[in-house]
Structure 1
């Protein structure tokens, strides 16, 4: 019985991969997808609500669609299996080589489902609501900081639903909407403030996050990176899945293939029906490329640097606010790549050790978006 249990647990990622592949195939067989407006207008229907929930998984990249969400999870599952078996084609080891991806995913997914259970009623207002925030914030950060185990996993999920989601809801509805600020400011601002409170609570009540075991991690086979052209392109690709703490090329490839497929099937479905997906993705890739090239010395010295930040904040917020002109795409990408990563590191270095450094990243997103998006609008307006 013990051997069978160990075998089932060992092959759980593969089972998940096959199940998700079947789900994707069934979705493709339907042939037609509603656009974003239709989806948002029919959230009282079970299928539309399910699509919204699954779409929350890709919300952090501003894609909001079930196909990129499923692609992200398929790629991540494959990357985890490759990491566990030490395959060379695994790319950058998922979840920073911690071996914690199953726990990270479980805690994030539970946090997302609990958020919808507690706060899904806010969608009845008819306006967009940040129901996705628990999937890419505190639950995963707690698992990576405190380790594996159901105590940590469930604590992270519950605190994410009880603290992060309502904090973001309050900031979006009572700050961003009235002042006409980019909603990403409220999303990440809520993540930061709620996570500060959560980590202080975990320090005060350490039994919440006490764990009893660590995962078995197989060390990557890859040699010391040369930080050349191939590494640069791989790093740019991996940045697309950095926000959910995956940071892996296979996960990012699944995300991008999924969103391009969604765009081909129904152009008005992903990216909130804006029809701006292509300039958005171009700006996101350019932001990462500029950041990786400009901050290469930081990557070499530190082993990791938050060049992903503009991908999930400044660039998509600027494109949605000011359109997909080349001035907006290039301006938001370059300014975001140069300003946001060092600001994040400066904030993170001032955090206490019992807090996860992602708080510095999301605070940088909020501050940088507030400063850069209006600037890009002025520059693009002047150029026009």
Structure 2
């Protein structure tokens, strides 16, 4: 694993810690959690709308609940803090060891909040809408590609709210729903199309992002992983937080512990009230495990490989559409692990240098989901 040494005097911005503290306090004070149907029926109420917005942070994993969202953020904050001090138990260095996690989180959160300001009216009917997409797409990708600082952070947040969210809204409502396609195709399709447009704009107007900065004084410390059993299990866990660009075991652990607590408190609240959380998580873990094992040589050669893709697309989409039978869980996990990662790498390798490679990942999610989820239904129906 590649780790970095970061001066211990650095601290996560106080605004991040304040946001986490406020979210946790609100969650604890208002501890009577509604189920998903109650939440969507009361979105005109401030507390329900706040819960929806916070739940957007864990939506990319299909959990949609404030407790896994809070767990994800608290785990990520702990991982960043541990990384500043060089503790080995930090796990895989968050945000790929760039030291940019505070800026990634800030840009993503601003993009999410701006999206709700601009597009929150689409929730007026009480139906689901992809309001979460800006949190796990362009804002973070721009920070990782161009560096930190307020100019890049705000530019990414603005473009995420102005381009990504409406693109996904259009694809979901005017393509996926009429054609009865998994809505994840519209979610990630909107991310891809809008991000291409955004990076073309940044190339045309480089002053928008030319002042990006990276933490000074970072010295890579190379520690060759053995890619053994422990590394494999750590990698599977880290894949659960890869979609928001965290890729860290502590962040993933917080996400999953928050999901467990949400299921205990209100079983019909997370995962859209489907009560398929166990099957979903089992399929997600199996997909990552199969991917990490099958593509181990790629991990060794490249240092990183997108084995997380089925976790946030194919597997949960198949489970929600076709049910939680073991045939659905296993088939979607295995096919997703075999097909989606190499497709993503093939697409990303053909992108120009001024575009972040995550575009290939989300396009792979769209194409793989479109091909595999119907096939899973056929196999599950014939079994």
Give the TM-score band, short-chain normalised: over 0.9
> Aligned residue for 1:4?
none
Q: Which residue of 1 aligns with 2:273?
A: 273
Are residues 309 and 217 of structure 1, via their aligned partners in 2, closer, same or farther at CA, if it must alter by over 3 Å? farther
> How far apart are the structure 2 equivalents of 1:17 and 1:113?
17
Once the two structures are superposed, the pairs formed by residues 83-98 of structure 1 within 5 Å of their partners are 83-98=83-98
- Contact residue 105 and residue 140 of structure 2 kept, 8 A: yes
Q: How does 1:1-384 map to 2 (within 5 A)?
A: 10-12=10-12, 16-17=16-17, 20=20, 23-24=23-24, 26-211=26-211, 213-216=213-216, 218-219=218-219, 223-383=223-383
Structure 1 112/23 Cα, relative in aligned 2: closer, same or farther at 3 Å?
Answer: closer
Change (3 A) 1:14 1:160: closer
Q: Is the Cα contact below 8 Å between 2:55 and 2:64 reproduced in 1?
A: yes
1:122 deviates by: 0.4
Cα distance in 1 for residues equivalent to 2:54 and 2:217? 29
Q: State TM-score, norm by structure 1.
A: 0.95
Query: 1:17, 1:78 within 8 Å by CA — same for their partners in 2?
Result: no
Secondary structure of the residue aligned to 1:83 is helix
Instruction: Kindly report the root-mean-square deviation, in angstroms, between the aligned alpha carbons of the 2 structures.
Output: 1.7
CA shift for structure 1 position 125: 2.7
The 3 A distance-change label for structure 1 pair 153 and 164 is same
CA distance in 2 between counterparts of 1:26 and 1:197 reads 37
Sort the Cα spacing of 1:24 and 1:222 in 2 relative to 1 into closer, same or farther, 3 A. farther
Any unmatched runs of 5+ in structure 2? Answer: 1-6
Query: SS state of the match for residue 186, structure 1?
Result: helix
Q: CA deviation at 1:124?
A: 1.0
Q: By how many angstroms is 1:85 displaced?
A: 1.2
1:179–1:203: structure 2 CA closer, same or farther, 3 Å change rule? same
- Structure 1 unaligned segments of length 5 or more: list them: 1-6
Structure 1 residue 14: Cα displacement: 7.3
Deviates more, 1:207-216 or 1:313-322: 207-216
Task: Report deviation, 1:212.
Answer: 5.4
Q: Which residue of 2 aligns with 1:3?
A: none
